[in-house]
A and B are shown apart, each in its own frame.
Chain A
């Protein structure tokens, strides 16, 4: 699993509101760093990393829900949940295909056609998921969701991405 990014400037005595900004913006950037790889689809680990980060982001948003107005919080959380769910369906198929493919050499000859048929079916479903993922990100881009999300977090926590400078572990 992809390692979580360090949260810069987070001290044990941090205020709840500023901690919310630092943690949520770090998890947000962590998630978005896998976006291009997920859309390219060359390595299934990119999609996995993005999904894991989206779950970390959701958990952070839930933990700090009281920092934000309830109505806008629900709206932003719903979109993040939509990302997790959309990626989740594709990830489940990636895992199933990989697992079944690994299983084939250990199976009796009699059992192989069934598993190969199942893999074919999952691969077909997986191609359909790619289209759903592309459509989701195209919509979020059209709506300027990334900019709005960061501005919303900054407004309620006082933390900006430019000051926080979130970065992957190896760059820290």
Chain B
């Protein structure tokens, strides 16, 4: 996670408003430093860092809201929309590798179970009837393999990947709209940064 950029010139003996302006100006700038970088859906780290930057900005607008006479609620709502969208994208980016790791874990469990089953089979007495013996072996192998657990995980991975594409498209549409509607300039004006 990207560390917040240090804010210089804070004077604790002054009022809240001038200090809040300095802090907010830096955090707004931090959000916009990811513009361009997030144009590539493969830039997972930058998308995550932009979410954190939006989150910091949101909390600061909530904290310092009382210091400003302008209505910050519409800005807060927009920031929250962006944070949520990027959060949902991040969830997909985290969950897909986790589900893939779960598949590997299932394979590991399976190897142990099959080894144990074969070892038991070698030690135990086998039915004289070959068909019965084979059927029993198959049934035990199926139970040991946990093969029935895989399709659901593959389905979930496919769902998350599809969802990620939709969410990313929503994000880029929203981000373009914010820039088109001069979100940054309007927010900075409301905060008295110009």
- Provide the residues of chain A in CB contact with B148, threshold 8 Å: 110, 113-114
Contact A12 B59 (CB under 8 A): no
Contact with B along A50-90 (1 / 0, CB 8 A): 00000110011011101100000000000000000000000
Q: Does A15 contact B (CB under 8 A)?
A: yes
In the assembled complex, the Cα of A134 lies from the Cα of B113 at a distance in Å of 34
Q: Which B137-175 residues have a C-beta within 8 angstroms of A?
A: 146, 148-156
Q: Tally inter-chain residue pairs, CB-CB below 8 A.
A: 99
Q: Does A121 contact B (CB under 8 A)?
A: yes
In the assembled complex, the Cα of A17 lies from the Cα of B12 at a distance in Å of 6
Given known contacts A107-B152, A114-B149, A55 and B16 CB-to-CB distance under 8 angstroms: no
Contact B67 A12 (CB under 8 A): yes
Tell me how many residues of B have a C-beta within 8 Å of chain A.
Answer: 37
Contact A17 B13 (CB under 8 A): yes
- Provide the residues of chain A in CB contact with B59, threshold 8 Å: 55-56, 59-60, 63
A59 to chain B, nearest CB (A): 3
Contact A15 B16 (CB under 8 A): yes
A131 to chain B, nearest CB (A): 21
B174 to chain A, nearest CB (A): 21
Interface of A (DSSP majority class): helix
In the assembled complex, the Cα of A121 lies from the Cα of B20 at a distance in Å of 46
Contact B102 A16 (CB under 8 A): no
**Residue of A7, A13, A59, A114 contacting most chain B CB atoms (<10 Å):** A114
Contact with B along A81-104 (1 / 0, CB 8 A): 000000000000000100000010
Q: Does B66 contact A (CB under 8 A)?
A: yes
- Provide the residues of chain B in CB contact with A62, threshold 8 Å: 4, 56
- Provide the residues of chain B in CB contact with A13, threshold 8 Å: 15-17
Contact B19 A118 (CB under 8 A): no
Q: Does B23 contact A (CB under 8 A)?
A: yes
Contact of A12 among B69, B150, B151 (CB under 8 A): B69
Contact with B along A31-57 (1 / 0, CB 8 A): 000000000000000000000000110
- Provide the residues of chain A in CB contact with B60, threshold 8 Å: 59, 63
A99 to chain B, nearest CB (A): 9
Q: Which B7-34 residues have a C-beta within 8 angstroms of A?
A: 10-17, 19-20, 23
Contact A12 B155 (CB under 8 A): no
In the assembled complex, the Cα of A11 lies from the Cα of B152 at a distance in Å of 55
Contact of A113 among B14, B17, B149 (CB under 8 A): B149
B9 to chain A, nearest CB (A): 10
Contact B15 A15 (CB under 8 A): yes
- Provide the residues of chain B in CB contact with A114, threshold 8 Å: 148-156
Given known contacts A59-B56, A59-B59, A16 and B16 CB-to-CB distance under 8 angstroms: yes
